[in-house]
Amino acid sequence: MANQNNFKTIMFILFIFILSISSVLGDIDGLYSTEDDVLSLNNETFNQVMESKQGIVWVVEFYNSWCGHCIHFAPTWKKLATEMKDWGDIIVIAAIDCSQQKNLGTCRSFGIDGYPTILIFPPVFNSSRKSLAYEIKSTNLPPIKEEILKVLTQYPTDSWPHLEPLIKIEEIWQHKKSHHKHILLIFEEKGSHVGKQVMLDVRKVTSVLVQSMVKDSVEKFGIKKFPSLYKVNNDSTYKVMAVGSHNNEEDRYLFVKVIRSLADVGSIGSRGQMPEVSNHGGMMGSKDKQDQPSKVKANSSVVSMQDLESAIHYSFRQEVAIMKVIDSEKLAALKDFVSVLAKYFPGRKPVLGFLGQVVLMLSKLDRQNLTGEEWMGKIDGIQDQDNFLPDVIKWQACQGSSAQYRGFPCSMWTLFHTLTVAAYSQNQAARQSNPQEVLLAVRGYMKHFFGCKECSINFLQMAQSVPEEVRDHKGAVLWLWTAHNKANKRLHGDVSEDPKHPKVQFPPDSLCPKCQTMTQSPSEGMKLSWDQEQVFTFLTSFYSAKNIVFPLTLQSSAEALEAEQGDDDNAKPLDTPLKELDWWEKMQKQDDLKNVWLLKEKLDRRRGSVGRLGEEREISYALRSERNFLSTWGLTQTDLSMCVVFYVVSTVLIILLYHHFIVRRRMISCKNSKSFI
C-alpha cells in the first residue's frame, strides 16, 4: 500500500512538471515573433483576418517550425515583409505554422504536404479567393517579388495604379486625372520591375502620374539609356529627369527621390520600402526604427568602443596568432599596423598602454621572424594590471542577425575609419606627417593577415591608387570612405550579406541629409551625387573620439579618457566599473589561451610526448569548456547557484506535501481503525 501511494505521488509530481513544460512551449510562436513584420496566422485567424481585409493581395507561407529548410528560409521571408511594409495597405506578408496541432485544419484544406509552401491569394472580393490561390514555386526573393507584382498587374483596382507598361506614349493621357500636375514616364528594359516598384512607392503622391514603357516600344523615339525617368509636358514633348545605373534598389531610390522632390513632398522617410540604414551600411528594419527608437539611435549614430576593442583582440589573437611563421615582410607589416594603432587609436588608458608595450616589444626583436605561438606568448607576457587588452569579443553596433554575419569585418572597417579620422585630427597642422601612413598600414595588414582572401585581393586592388590619390589626411579619410562604399556596392546581394542588414551606400539620409544632392545635367537630367565637403564633415564627427560610446554606460570616449587622465579623487563613476570589468576579464585570460594549444596537445599526446603540463592544460580547457557551456545557455555561476537553491527548496516542499497528504492521512486512518476496534 505504501509503495502504491509513493508511486502515485511521483506520477503526480511528474504530471505537474510536464504540464509546466507544455505551458512554456505553448507560448512559442513558430519562427516569427511580434517583432517581425510577418503577420502570424493560425487556424482561427486565417479565415477571419483574410475575409476582413479583402481587395488586397495575401502572400502566405505555410511552414513547419522544425523543418531545416523553413528555418533557413525564415530570414528571407522576414526581409520580404520588411521591404514591403510600406505597401501594407495593398499587400500582406503572412505565415502559418503547420507543425502546430491547432493549425492542422487550415493546412490540410490547402493540401499542404511540403514545407515551406508559399501561396498567393489575389485581391478578389468574394469567396472564390481561396480557389484562385496558386503556389509560388521559388523560395528566392526576386522570383517571389516578380509573382507579387504580376498579381498586382493582373488584378487592377482603385487601391493601386495601373502597372501594365504602355504600348504607346499617347496612352498616358488616358490615365491622367485633374489632380495630376506632373506626368512622368519610366523607360526600362523588358523584365525590369523598377517602374512598377516606383509607381507603388509614389502611389500616394496625388499630384504625380507615373507610368512605364519597355525598351522595344521607345527606341524609335531616340531613347538610348535604360532605365531612365522622363517628364512628359502638356505638348507631348519630354525631358530627361534621371538615368539609372542598372542597380534595382539604387535606381528605384533615385527615381522616387526625384519624383517626390518634383512634387515638393519632402525627402523619402524610408526610401520607399527600403529599411533604415544603420552603422557602416547595415540596416535596421523599419519596424525596429519605430518600435525601438532608443536602440536604433545608439547603434546607428555612434561608434562602439566594444566593437573597436573586439576588432583588435580578434586580429591579434586570431588572425596574427594563427600564422605559422611571421617572416620579415609580414613582420614589417605587423609593426606598421601596431604602430598606427598606438599613435591614433582613441582608446582607454589600459589598451593604449598595452599597444605601446607591443610596439616596444616588436622594436626590440633581435631577429626577422616570429612564430604565431611566440607572438601569443609575448603579448601575454607584457600584460599587467595597468596595460592590457580585454579578452571578450562581443559585437554591439556590428552585431549581425546571426553569428556568420557582420561582426569582425564590420568592426575592422569601423576601426580603419576611426584611425584615418584620428590621424586627420592630430595632424591638421603637421604638414610633415605622412598622410598615407594609416592607409599603407591597413593595406599591409589586409595583404598579410586578413582571413578573407577574396576581400584582401579586392582591397589591395583598390589600394593601388593610394600613392597617387591621397595627398593629405583629409584625402585619406575620403579615400577610405569611397573604398568602403565600393565594397558595399560589390557585395550587395552576395550570399555573405546579412539579410537584415543589407549593404548600401553610407552615409544614408537618416544620418546625413545633406550628404547627397541632386544635380542637373543636359544628358542625364537630375542625378544624385555626393557632396564631399558634407560627407567629410559627417565622417570626422561620426568617427571622432567624442562620438565613441562604451557598451555598459554609453559614456563617450572623450569623457572616459578625461576621467582616466584626471586625479583619482575627481574620476568619474564610469571609470571604476570599466576597469574592474576589464581586469576580471583579464584574469580569465589564462584559461582562454589554452584553447589555442589544445589541438597541438592532442597531436602530441598521440605521439606520447605529453607530460604533466599538457594534462594540466587539458584540465584547464575542460573547466573553460564548462564555462562556455554555461555561457552558451545564457547562464552564470549565480544563475546556477539559484537553480540549486530552487531545487533544494522544491525538494523540501515536495517532502512536506508528501508528509502532509500521505503520512498524516495514513496516521489518521490508523487512529480511526483503533477507535473502531
Rounded to a whole number, what is the distance in angstroms from the first to the last CA of the chain? Answer: 21
Task: Please list, in sequence order, all residues whose beta carbon lies within 8 angstroms of the beta carbon of residue 550, skipping any fewer than 6 positions away.
Answer: 304, 305, 306, 557, 560, 574, 578
Write a three-state SS string for 105-120. Answer: HHHHHCCCCCCCEEEE
Contact, 344 vs 423, CB < 8 A?
yes
Whether 67 is catalytic is yes
Handedness of CA 289, 295, 297, 302 (dihedral sign): negative
Q: DSSP letter string over 400-445?
A: -SSTTSBSHHHHHHHHHHHHHHHHHHHSSS-TTS-TTHHHHHHHHH
Catalytic residue, from 70, 98, 107, 398: name it: 70
Give the span between the Cα atoms of 415 and 346, in whole angstroms: 10
**Eight-class DSSP state of 556:** B
Q: Which residues of 466-502 are buried (b: 16+ CB within 10 A; e: fewer)?
A: beeebeebbbbbbbbbbbbbebbbebbeeeebbbbbb
Give the span between the Cα atoms of 102 and 96, in whole angstroms: 11
Dihedral of the alpha carbons of 597, 600, 605, 609, in degrees to the nearest 10: -90
Whether 70 is catalytic is yes
Contact, 57 vs 104, CB < 8 A?
no
Measure Cα distances from 469 to 146, 436, 463 in Å.
43, 10, 10
Active site residues: 67, 70
